[in-house]
Protein backbone atom coordinates (compact mmCIF):
# COMPACT_ATOMS: atom_id res chain seq x y z
CA UNK A 1 0.00 0.00 0.00
CA UNK A 2 1.13 3.47 -0.81
CA UNK A 3 -0.87 6.61 -0.01
CA UNK A 4 -0.41 10.15 -1.30
CA UNK A 5 -2.37 13.22 -2.28
CA UNK A 6 -4.06 12.99 -5.67
CA UNK A 7 -2.71 15.50 -8.22
CA UNK A 8 -6.13 16.42 -9.74
CA UNK A 9 -4.74 16.36 -13.29
CA UNK A 10 -7.55 15.79 -15.83
CA UNK A 11 -6.07 12.62 -17.32
CA UNK A 12 -6.96 8.92 -17.23
CA UNK A 13 -8.25 8.01 -13.76
CA UNK A 14 -6.25 4.74 -13.92
CA UNK A 15 -2.91 6.59 -13.89
CA UNK A 16 -1.11 7.05 -10.53
CA UNK A 17 -1.93 10.78 -10.20
CA UNK A 18 0.87 11.05 -7.63
CA UNK A 19 1.34 14.62 -6.40
CA UNK A 20 4.63 13.69 -4.75
CA UNK A 21 3.11 14.41 -1.31
CA UNK A 22 3.00 11.17 0.69
CA UNK A 23 0.26 10.48 3.24
CA UNK A 24 1.09 8.59 6.44
CA UNK A 25 -0.77 5.68 8.00
CA UNK A 26 -1.43 8.03 10.94
CA UNK A 27 -3.28 10.46 8.67
CA UNK A 28 -5.31 7.58 7.22
CA UNK A 29 -6.10 6.32 10.73
CA UNK A 30 -7.24 9.82 11.71
CA UNK A 31 -9.73 9.59 8.84
CA UNK A 32 -10.87 6.18 10.09
CA UNK A 33 -9.14 4.25 7.29
CA UNK A 34 -7.54 1.07 8.61
CA UNK A 35 -4.84 -0.93 6.86
CA UNK A 36 -3.04 -4.26 7.28
CA UNK A 37 -0.67 -6.17 5.05
CA UNK A 38 -1.15 -9.95 5.03
CA UNK A 39 0.90 -11.65 2.31
CA UNK A 40 -0.95 -13.85 -0.17
CA UNK A 41 0.60 -16.18 -2.72
CA UNK A 42 -0.70 -16.32 -6.31
CA UNK A 43 -3.82 -18.48 -6.36
CA UNK A 44 -3.88 -18.86 -2.55
CA UNK A 45 -7.16 -18.71 -0.69
CA UNK A 46 -7.76 -16.07 1.96
CA UNK A 47 -4.95 -16.36 4.58
CA UNK A 48 -5.60 -17.05 8.27
CA UNK A 49 -4.46 -13.51 9.17
CA UNK A 50 -7.47 -12.12 7.33
CA UNK A 51 -9.72 -14.57 9.21
CA UNK A 52 -8.30 -13.33 12.53
CA UNK A 53 -9.03 -9.69 11.67
CA UNK A 54 -12.50 -10.64 10.41
CA UNK A 55 -13.26 -12.38 13.70
CA UNK A 56 -11.89 -9.48 15.77
CA UNK A 57 -13.97 -6.90 13.85
CA UNK A 58 -17.13 -9.03 13.63
CA UNK A 59 -17.11 -9.67 9.89
CA UNK A 60 -19.22 -12.80 9.47
CA UNK A 61 -19.52 -13.08 5.70
CA UNK A 62 -17.45 -12.64 2.57
CA UNK A 63 -17.41 -13.03 -1.14
CA UNK A 64 -14.85 -12.52 -3.88
CA UNK A 65 -15.19 -10.06 -6.74
CA UNK A 66 -13.20 -10.06 -9.95
CA UNK A 67 -13.22 -6.53 -11.35
CA UNK A 68 -12.06 -6.96 -14.92
CA UNK A 69 -13.56 -7.07 -18.39
CA UNK A 70 -13.69 -10.86 -18.11
CA UNK A 71 -15.12 -10.85 -14.59
CA UNK A 72 -17.86 -8.24 -15.12
CA UNK A 73 -18.68 -8.83 -18.78
CA UNK A 74 -21.11 -6.35 -20.30
CA UNK A 75 -21.44 -4.49 -16.98
CA UNK A 76 -17.70 -3.63 -16.91
CA UNK A 77 -17.82 -0.06 -18.27
CA UNK A 78 -20.85 0.99 -16.20
CA UNK A 79 -19.41 -0.56 -13.03
CA UNK A 80 -16.03 1.16 -13.47
CA UNK A 81 -17.79 4.48 -14.04
CA UNK A 82 -20.01 3.97 -10.99
CA UNK A 83 -17.11 2.93 -8.73
CA UNK A 84 -15.34 6.23 -9.57
CA UNK A 85 -18.29 8.47 -8.63
CA UNK A 86 -17.70 10.13 -5.26
CA UNK A 87 -19.96 8.30 -2.81
CA UNK A 88 -20.30 6.86 0.68
CA UNK A 89 -21.85 3.71 2.13
CA UNK A 90 -23.78 3.10 5.32
CA UNK A 91 -21.54 0.11 6.07
CA UNK A 92 -17.78 -0.17 6.21
CA UNK A 93 -16.12 -1.10 2.95
CA UNK A 94 -13.62 -3.90 3.60
CA UNK A 95 -11.40 -5.26 0.84
CA UNK A 96 -8.57 -7.78 0.88
CA UNK A 97 -6.64 -7.79 -2.39
CA UNK A 98 -5.99 -11.29 -3.74
CA UNK A 99 -4.66 -10.30 -7.17
CA UNK A 100 -4.26 -7.35 -9.49
CA UNK A 101 -4.19 -3.78 -8.20
CA UNK A 102 -6.12 -0.55 -8.06
CA UNK A 103 -6.72 2.73 -6.29
CA UNK A 104 -9.06 3.70 -3.48
CA UNK A 105 -9.42 7.46 -3.22
CA UNK A 106 -10.73 8.86 0.08
CA UNK A 107 -11.83 12.42 0.64
CA UNK A 108 -9.88 14.18 3.38
CA UNK A 109 -12.52 16.12 5.31
CA UNK A 110 -11.78 19.81 5.89
CA UNK A 111 -13.67 22.77 7.40
CA UNK A 112 -14.70 23.99 3.94
CA UNK A 113 -15.34 21.90 0.78
CA UNK A 114 -12.78 23.90 -1.21
CA UNK A 115 -10.11 22.78 1.30
CA UNK A 116 -10.83 19.07 0.90
CA UNK A 117 -8.36 16.90 -0.99
CA UNK A 118 -8.36 13.41 -2.38
CA UNK A 119 -5.93 10.90 -0.91
CA UNK A 120 -5.07 8.10 -3.32
CA UNK A 121 -4.32 4.68 -1.83
CA UNK A 122 -2.65 2.15 -4.11
CA UNK A 123 -3.59 -1.42 -3.15
CA UNK A 124 -1.98 -4.64 -4.37
CA UNK A 125 -2.07 -8.32 -3.34
CA UNK A 126 -1.87 -8.74 0.43
CA UNK A 127 -3.37 -5.33 1.27
CA UNK A 128 -6.42 -5.25 3.56
CA UNK A 129 -8.18 -1.90 3.75
CA UNK A 130 -11.22 -0.78 5.75
CA UNK A 131 -13.03 2.40 4.77
CA UNK A 132 -15.35 3.62 7.52
CA UNK A 133 -19.08 4.08 7.06
CA UNK A 134 -19.81 7.64 5.93
CA UNK A 135 -16.44 8.48 4.32
CA UNK A 136 -16.57 9.86 0.80
CA UNK A 137 -14.52 7.67 -1.49
CA UNK A 138 -14.22 6.19 -4.97
CA UNK A 139 -12.36 3.31 -6.62
CA UNK A 140 -10.64 2.71 -9.93
CA UNK A 141 -8.46 0.07 -11.46
CA UNK A 142 -4.93 0.94 -12.47
CA UNK A 143 -3.71 0.47 -16.05
CA UNK A 144 -3.57 -3.32 -15.57
CA UNK A 145 -7.40 -3.22 -15.65
CA UNK A 146 -8.01 -6.00 -13.14
CA UNK A 147 -8.28 -6.65 -9.44
CA UNK A 148 -9.51 -9.64 -7.47
CA UNK A 149 -10.65 -8.84 -3.95
CA UNK A 150 -12.37 -10.49 -1.02
CA UNK A 151 -15.20 -8.34 0.30
CA UNK A 152 -15.87 -8.84 4.00
CA UNK A 153 -19.06 -7.72 5.72
CA UNK A 154 -20.89 -7.93 9.03
CA UNK A 155 -24.45 -8.67 7.92
CA UNK A 156 -25.91 -11.45 5.81
CA UNK A 157 -26.61 -8.85 3.13
CA UNK A 158 -24.29 -5.82 3.10
CA UNK A 159 -25.70 -2.35 2.45
CA UNK A 160 -23.25 -1.44 -0.31
CA UNK A 161 -25.66 1.01 -1.81
CA UNK A 162 -23.57 3.95 -3.02
CA UNK A 163 -24.92 7.30 -1.89
CA UNK A 164 -23.42 9.80 -4.33
CA UNK A 165 -22.24 13.05 -2.82
CA UNK A 166 -24.83 15.80 -2.68
CA UNK A 167 -26.92 17.76 -0.16
CA UNK A 168 -29.05 14.74 0.81
CA UNK A 169 -25.98 12.57 1.35
CA UNK A 170 -24.19 15.32 3.25
CA UNK A 171 -27.03 15.17 5.79
CA UNK A 172 -27.26 11.35 5.84
CA UNK A 173 -27.03 10.17 9.50
CA UNK A 174 -24.11 7.84 8.68
CA UNK A 175 -22.22 10.73 7.08
CA UNK A 176 -23.03 13.02 10.02
CA UNK A 177 -21.81 10.38 12.47
CA UNK A 178 -18.59 9.96 10.49
CA UNK A 179 -17.93 13.72 10.37
CA UNK A 180 -18.58 13.96 14.14
CA UNK A 181 -15.94 11.29 14.84
CA UNK A 182 -13.10 13.14 13.10
CA UNK A 183 -11.79 16.62 13.49
CA UNK A 184 -10.85 18.40 10.31
CA UNK A 185 -7.17 18.22 9.47
CA UNK A 186 -5.57 21.28 7.95
CA UNK A 187 -4.65 20.91 4.31
CA UNK A 188 -0.95 21.17 3.60
Is 17 annotated for ligand binding?
no
Q: How many helical (H) and strand (E) elements, i.e. helices and strands, does the chain have?
A: 6, 12
From the number of C-beta atoms within 10 Å of its C-beta (0-12, 13-18, 19+), residue 167 rates as: exposed
Strand runs labelled E in 41-109 = 61-68, 87-88, 93-100, 102-108
Is 109 annotated for ligand binding?
no
Cα→Cα distances 103→56, 132, 183, Å: 26, 16, 25
Is 163 annotated for ligand binding?
no
**What residue numbers does the annotated binding site for Ni(2+) cover?**
87, 89, 93, 137
**What residue numbers does the annotated binding site cover?**
87, 89, 93, 137
**What residue numbers does the annotated binding site for Fe(2+) cover?**
87, 89, 93, 137
Amino acid sequence: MRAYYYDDEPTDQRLPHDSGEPVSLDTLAHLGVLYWTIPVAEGESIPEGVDAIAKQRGYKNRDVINVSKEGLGDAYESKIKGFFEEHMHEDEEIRYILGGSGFFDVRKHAPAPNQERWIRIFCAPGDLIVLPSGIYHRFTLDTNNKIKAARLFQQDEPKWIPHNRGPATDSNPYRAEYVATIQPVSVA
